[in-house]
Structure 1
Amino acid sequence: MKSGLTIRVDNLRDVLDALKQLGNKDVLVGIPSDRAERQDGMEINNAELGYLHSFGGTIRIPEHMTTVYRQISDDGSFKRNGQFVQKAKSNFATSHKVAAYSVQLPPRPFLHMGMAQSRDEVAELMKQAAVAALSGNADQAEVMLNRAGVVASQAAKQVITAGDQLTPLSERTLESRRSRGRNGTKPLYDTGQLLRSITYVVRSKNA
Structure 2
Amino acid sequence: MKSGLTIRADNLQDVLDALKQLGNKDVLVGIPSDRAERQDGMEINNAELGYLHSFGGTIRVPEHTTTLYRQVDGEGNFKHGGKFVQQSKSNFATDHKVASYTVSLPPRPFLEMGIASSRVKTTDLLKQAAGAMLSGNAAQAEIMLNRAGMVASQAAKQVITAGDQLTPLSERTLQARRSRGRTGTKPLYDTGQLLRSITYVVRDKNA
What is the TM-score of this pair, normalised by structure 2? 0.92
For residues 71 and 6 of structure 2, what CA distance do their matches in structure 1 show?
83
Q: Name which of structure 1's ranges 40-49 and 133-142 shifts more when overlaid on structure 2.
A: 133-142
- Residue 115, structure 1, aligned to residue 125, structure 2: no
Deviations 1:87-112 (A, max 9, x none): 23222222222111100000000001
After TM superposition, give the deviation of residue 10 of structure 1 in Å. 5.4
After TM superposition, give the deviation of residue 76 of structure 1 in Å. 2.0
For residues 152 and 138 of structure 1, what CA distance do their matches in structure 2 show?
21
Give the fraction of aligned pairs with identical amino acids, expressed as a percent: 82
For residues 92 and 158 of structure 2, what CA distance do their matches in structure 1 show?
36
Residues 41 and 62 of structure 2 are in contact (CA less than 8 Å); yes or no, is this contact kept in structure 1?
Answer: no
Unaligned runs of 5+ in 2: none
Residues 11 and 136 of structure 1 are in contact (CA less than 8 Å); yes or no, is this contact kept in structure 2?
Answer: no
- The 5-angstrom pairing of residues 32-111 of structure 1 reads 32-111=32-111
For residues 81 and 8 of structure 1, what CA distance do their matches in structure 2 show?
85
SS in 1 for 2:185: coil
For residues 154 and 8 of structure 2, what CA distance do their matches in structure 1 show?
42
Unaligned runs of 5+ in 1: none
Partner residue in 2 for 1:145: 145
For residues 50 and 119 of structure 1, what CA distance do their matches in structure 2 show?
21
SS in 2 for 1:58: strand
What is the TM-score of this pair, normalised by structure 1? 0.92
Residues 70 and 78 of structure 2 are in contact (CA less than 8 Å); yes or no, is this contact kept in structure 1?
Answer: yes
Deviations 1:147-175 (A, max 9, x none): 11111111101100100000011111111
Deviations 1:61-81 (A, max 9, x none): 111122211111122211000
